[in-house]
Structure 1
Amino acid sequence: MHPNFDLEPAATALEAVVGAITDDQLTAPTPCADTSVRDLLAHVVGLTEAFRQAATKEAVGRSVPPAVGPETGLPTDWRSRIPGQLKALVEAWRDPAAWDGETEAGGVSAPAVVMATIALDEIVIHTWDLAHAIGQQPAVDPAHLTILFEFLRDTPPEGTPGMFGPVIQVPDDARLLDRIVGLTGRDPAWSR
């Protein structure tokens, strides 16, 4: 596994995309099947807090699987809440103790270093989803791409139940981001 890495570049990229979303784009589709921009933003509100709690270990023993879909409410203050929660998440993972032992998020327990990688994956992939939904190309830190490709490289063809749909085949000579996106069950060529 990787030594501790900083989540700030990924958080900054997500904050930039969230800041570019206009109200009339909330109903737009995303690369996540049957998920609108609004639904995905609601998921981001939940996951940014869940992975902060994973870093502090306050979620251990009481986390629950995330709800995704139209029934998940999007807080009216999402434009300020998401950036604030991203900053808190980054700070929480900068504490060396965050990387020790086991922790929990979304009803799943894992070594903290694995949970940090899952947090990175969630942030980067949902940044990609939201950016594509509004016609943008997200910025991704090259070091983060390396970490995520190593993490996802052995994803089975059927995907990871509860996390990713079936793998989309992407040529080995494609951009690393496109290969990572394919491993999470998304078509890198998806467009709105």
Structure 2
Amino acid sequence: MSVTTDVTTDPRPLLDRAVAQLAALVAAVPADRLGAPTPCSEFDVRALLGHLVAGAHDGAELGEKGTVEWSRPPEGVADDGWSAAYEEARTRLIAAWADDATLTRPVKVEWGEFPGAVYLTSGMVLESVTHAWDLSRALGDPLPLDQELAELALGWAERFLPAERRGAGVPFGPVRSVPAGADAYGRLAGWLGREV
């Protein structure tokens, strides 16, 4: 598969890869790391897991209805229940976008209205890939990450979130420099304002 930022192609295979990668990382979270910090400063590991579960359900609702009432992170998930909670949300997300018609149907979110394919690319895949790096770093990088996904996500981030578009209403900090030789995930993280 060639690396491209073309959002007119079907993004569902990339979504499958991105959420499968996240599912493997969520399954690798030990209970004693749930309170650990992540590079996404607003979340520790437990809060990030809640955000991922809620985000997958929100993405599913957009596929099902075209609009969403934003979810709150789930409450009462047992320390050993996060993998099952994410797997349930991931399964719903994939099923919600199974119909080809969802790719061209508009979805409405707080930052605009887009064809479903654009939302999946610049929303769900980009967020899943970015948070995979956050979670991986918080856990000490237990699994190899899909570098092609990060190259794609970086291309979309540069296109949809240019460096000058930061500040009020944009949930990303200024672009940060990254160490020489940083991989695609490190470059993506720096573009989105994370310390690498």
Q: TM-score range by the shorter chain?
A: 0.7 to 0.9
**Please, what TM-score do these two structures have when normalized by structure 1?**
0.81
Q: Pick closer, same or farther for the CA change 1:67–1:13 going to 2, 3 Å.
A: same
8 Å CA contact 1:102–1:109 kept in 2: the answer is no
Residues 104-146 of structure 1 show CA distances to partners (whole Å, capped at 9, x for unaligned) of 35x444312221011001111111111110101542251x334
Aligned length in residues:
180
Partner residue of 2:88?
A: 84
Aligned amino acid, residue 104 of structure 2: D
Q: Could you say which residue in structure 1 is the equivalent of 2:29?
A: 21
Q: In structure 2, do the counterparts of structure 1 residues 63 and 141 end up closer, same or farther at CA, with 3 Å as the change threshold?
A: farther
Paired-residue identity, %: 26
- 1-side partners of 2:105 and 2:179: how far apart? 37
Deviations 1:152-190 (A, max 9, x none): 1142256364431221123686422221111111123xx
Residues 40, 166 of structure 1: CA spacing in aligned structure 2 closer, same or farther, 3 A cutoff?
Answer: same
1:134 partner amino acid: L
- Return the alpha-carbon distance in structure 2 between the equivalents of residues 158 and 109 of structure 1: 15
AA in 2 matched with 1:159: R
Matching of residue 95 in structure 1 with residue 99 in structure 2: yes
Q: TM-score with structure 2 length normalisation?
A: 0.79
What is the CA deviation profile of residues 71-112 of structure 1, one whole-angstrom value per residue up to 9, with x for unaligned ones?
x7463343311012112212333321121132135x444312
**Taking structure 1 as reference, are residues 159 and 74 closer, same or farther at Cα in structure 2, changes over 3 Å only?**
farther
- Secondary structure in 1 aligned to 2:163? coil
Q: Aligned pair 1:36/2:41, yes or no?
A: no
Unaligned runs of 5+ in 1: none
In the TM superposition, what are the counterparts of 1:5-154 in structure 2 within 5 Å? 5=11, 6=13, 7-56=15-64, 58=65, 60=67, 62-64=68-70, 73=75, 75-76=77-78, 77-105=81-109, 107-111=110-114, 112-117=116-121, 118-136=123-141, 137-140=143-146, 142=148, 144-154=149-159
Residues 27 and 36 in structure 1, CA contact (< 8 A), matched pair in contact too = yes
* Range moving further from structure 2, 1-10 or 20-29: 1-10
**Matched residue, 2:3:** none
Name stretches of at least 5 consecutive residues in structure 2 with no aligned partner: 1-5
Tell me, what secondary structure is at the counterpart of 1:177?
helix
Runs (4+) of structure 1 exceeding 6 A deviation are none
